[in-house]
Structure 1
Amino acid sequence: MRLVVIGDVGVVDGMMHIGDEAMFEALCDEMRARGGDIVAVSSAPRETAARYGVDAIGRIDFDRLSRADAEARLDGVAAALGGTASADERIGTMIAEITSADAVIIAGAGNLASTWPTHIYERVAMSRIARALGRPLFVTGQTLGPKLNERDRELVGEIIRHAALVGVRETTSQALSADLGVPARLGVDDASFLAWDEIGLPSNRSGVLISLSLHLGGVDRVEATTRIAALADAAARVTGEPVRFHAHFGAVDDEAPRGDALLHDEIRARMQSASEVLPTGTPRQAALAARSAALLITGRYHPAVFAAPAGVPVLGLVTDEYTRIKQRGALAHWGQSSTVALAAVDTDGIPVLEALWQQRERVAQSAAEAVTAARVESDSWWTHIAESVAKMRKAS
């Protein structure tokens, strides 16, 4: 069972995005366990191939194109498929790989939104190639929108309408999928149980773990870091636990801080409490760090995805409707709902944090009650995809 899988993967310039890699890694684990042979579509094919032990190719590449140029490139895919024009190397490689594959899978992400049209065009191009070649398409672990202009809504609708199965991770995405005419499976994020059996659940949790994003939603950077520093100090005081910062978008080695680590350092400099830094590491290491924390404060999505199933209380910092939907969606699966606007983390946020800490036993119990059924459902989803591919391959 050969599967061409696109995710936002590929370590470029030594920078790792933990969440994007985690969803792809989880998919690889699950599909390999069911007989899948993965061909990754990556922004750094050699790096991805080496990291995961898979075959890998580059994207068709709609990066930095204007809308008009992206539409023209999409037309170029159609021309190559129809034989009316020769394909460039990237398009030709994609067509060849999908020709030799049994299915195409769009891995989990939150990129099918007008904020990132590049990703929409890349995926609609792959879906059109799959459809032209008679290869089934599967969409898993998505956040859809919420921002979709008229053209992007049309393209996203095209992608999911031609998919054999569609999986989303929040009720808002499920509702949007239904509005586009497609019933979608609602489940937890694909990386929720990454290495769950391998790592296990830590018996002793400790520390306040903080993971933040450089996206501040228009809040002045000095103001934002000052406010977050006050929240971090409050967390240290309320919990009596050490504070650790972990960059989910950061350098894979120990060189000078980059990405989220730059913001973390600015916050640490404004704190009254002592703090430490965890290296970015790998998705598996990030999952262990989140599941081992006594409390998580995060502006990033995947720290919550990792921590909440393990019963770690999570305070999500949100900057806009997109981050609010994702944070609340991730937490809702586990009976949590604590979020606060980034602009009010030192005012509204501290009382929410105090209440959350007081409820930590209830939070842990709620997750423990939900996790078995969620794991069964997640396992069934991956099996459903694998069995559907096998059935369609046999029918063809």
Structure 2
Amino acid sequence: MPTGGMGGTARVSILTIGDIGVSSGIIHIGDEAMFEAARDELADRGIPITGISSQPDESARRYGIPVVGRLGFAGLARADAQERAALLLDVAAGIRELPPGDPAEGALAALRSARGVLIAGGGNLASRWPVHVFERTTVAAMARAQGLPVVLSGQTLGPDLDPEDRTRVAELARRAVRTGVREHASGDLARSWGARVHVGVDDASFLGGGPDGAEVSDRVLVSLSGWFAVRPADAVEAGIARLLDHVADTAGEVLFHAHFGPVAADAVPSGDAALHERVRARMRRPSTVVASGDPLGAARLARSARLLVTSRYHPAVFAAPAGVPILGLAADDYTRIKLAGALGHWGQDAVLDLDDLPTAPSALDRLDDRRSEVADRAAAALPGHRARAGAWWDDVADVFR
């Protein structure tokens, strides 16, 4: 089978789909972090994986594992995606043959030599990303057609699911051997479908060993997403700039770090990094930029911050276990559920809507005053969350043994 340059076939591996692949030098830190954590946790338990990636060669080099391409749903309209899902399921069941050169050749070959399928965190299951709904429900159905177990880990389910997608995702969760979600809202939804559910912290919470030994700096870390939920960009960016000027005046140096942006420091800003530059241009106080880099570097950076201001999810995932006070900025129900879920596991709750930016300076001042309290809560919660996360991965490994 194709292996993204790694060579050979690992006949005991678990076919694992996340949302990975660095293209044109642009990385999505959170998606890569969840996949990396799954690889590490299963490797620690003696279980190798084969990945699915939009950039197989790059991902094979990054993770040191066999990697195949995606299933060919990208860019398809819903009707065409439904036809493709039916084709791939028939091929997996031995009813039809795959056309020569089809993009799913590698994934089908990997599935035939796999012991099961892990749907890792990344590409959350919501109707705003139909390609991920089709990819994950189809690869799971293909696995079941071959009698293989399926596990979901690190998921956010919905909240926006149209009726067809809800049916697909409900069947996926219900028929999985284990379904791991990262917020109680997702857990409640999955239970309503009859799924066997584990609710825990995000899979990347302890990436690289977790927060142990993190050294706290005087810097305030900022990581923003360009999703404003149709609010005027000028107004939102100006409001964030005013907030960050206040932070620089009262708390310390402002440091921008894009979780969707260029890996390299000398690259032209794009994605979140381009948004950061627009906000910086509106600020009256100086600030600093750190290149996106990689997940381990991002985790270390977040864990060392004095404060975190973020509308991205994974900066909060990395920072909260280290007891860093976090102000989450939510654009809609989806981002609010994710940020509140990430913070709530660690006893924090400071999530504001973008409409409430005028109140954000006082909210951040209160957070800064409570730094010791926030750190104590995180330290008290850390052993339990570590133990439950370890038990979850033990259970996942047992499924595939």
Decide: shared fold, TM above 0.5: yes
CA 1:129–1:67: 2 relative to 1, 3 Å: same
Q: Which position in structure 1 is the counterpart of 2:59?
A: 48
Partners of 2:123 and 2:110 in 1: CA distance = 25
Residue 110 of structure 1 deviates from its aligned partner by 5.4
Q: Which position in structure 1 is the counterpart of 2:164?
A: 151
Partners of 1:66 and 1:167 in 2: CA distance = 29
Q: Which position in structure 2 is the counterpart of 1:97?
A: 110
Q: Which position in structure 2 is the counterpart of 1:111?
A: 124
Partners of 1:68 and 1:190 in 2: CA distance = 33
Is the 8 Å Cα contact of residues 216 and 304 (structure 2) preserved in structure 1? yes
- Which of the numbers 241, 245, 249 marks the counterpart of 1:237? 249
How many pairs does the alignment contain?
387
Q: 1:365 is matched by which residue type in structure 2?
A: D
Is the 8 Å Cα contact of residues 9 and 21 (structure 1) preserved in structure 2? yes
- Which of the numbers 253, 263, 270 marks the counterpart of 1:252? 263
Q: Which position in structure 2 is the counterpart of 1:353?
A: 364
Identify unmatched segments of 5+ residues in structure 2. Answer: 1-11
Identify unmatched segments of 5+ residues in structure 1. Answer: 391-396
Partners of 1:52 and 1:110 in 2: CA distance = 19
The correspondence of residues 1-396 of structure 1 with structure 2, limited to 5 A, is 1-88=12-99, 89-109=102-122, 111-196=124-209, 200-239=212-251, 241-253=252-264, 254-345=266-357, 347-390=358-401
Secondary structure at the aligned position of 1:57 is classed as strand
Partners of 1:251 and 1:131 in 2: CA distance = 38
Q: 1:23 is matched by which residue type in structure 2?
A: M
Secondary structure at the aligned position of 1:195 is classed as helix
Q: 2:34 is matched by which residue type in structure 1?
A: M
- Range with bigger deviation, 324-333 or 91-100: 91-100
Provide the TM-score with structure 2 as the length reference. 0.94
Residue 343 of structure 1 deviates from its aligned partner by 2.6
Is the 8 Å Cα contact of residues 174 and 183 (structure 1) preserved in structure 2? no
Deviations 1:38-73 (A, max 9, x none): 100000000000001010001112111111101100
Partners of 2:278 and 2:185 in 1: CA distance = 34
Is the 8 Å Cα contact of residues 15 and 116 (structure 2) preserved in structure 1? yes
User: What percent of counterpart residues are identical?
Assistant: 45
Is the 8 Å Cα contact of residues 174 and 196 (structure 2) preserved in structure 1? no
Partners of 1:84 and 1:183 in 2: CA distance = 31
Secondary structure at the aligned position of 1:112 is classed as coil
Residue 93 of structure 1 deviates from its aligned partner by 2.7
Deviations 1:340-377 (A, max 9, x none): 111321x1211211111111110000000000111111
Deviations 1:257-310 (A, max 9, x none): 111111101111111111000111000000000001000000100000000000
Structure 1 runs (4+) greater than 4 angstroms displaced:
none
Q: 1:154 is matched by which residue type in structure 2?
A: T
Partners of 1:279 and 1:95 in 2: CA distance = 36
Partners of 1:93 and 1:54 in 2: CA distance = 14
The RMSD of aligned alpha carbons is 1.2
Residue 4 of structure 1 deviates from its aligned partner by 0.6
Partners of 1:210 and 1:341 in 2: CA distance = 16
Is the 8 Å Cα contact of residues 110 and 143 (structure 1) preserved in structure 2? no
Is the 8 Å Cα contact of residues 201 and 310 (structure 1) preserved in structure 2? no
Deviations 1:209-263 (A, max 9, x none): 0000011111211111110000101111221x11100000011122111111111
- Range with bigger deviation, 299-308 or 218-227: 218-227
CA 1:44–1:195: 2 relative to 1, 3 Å: same
Secondary structure at the aligned position of 1:129 is classed as helix
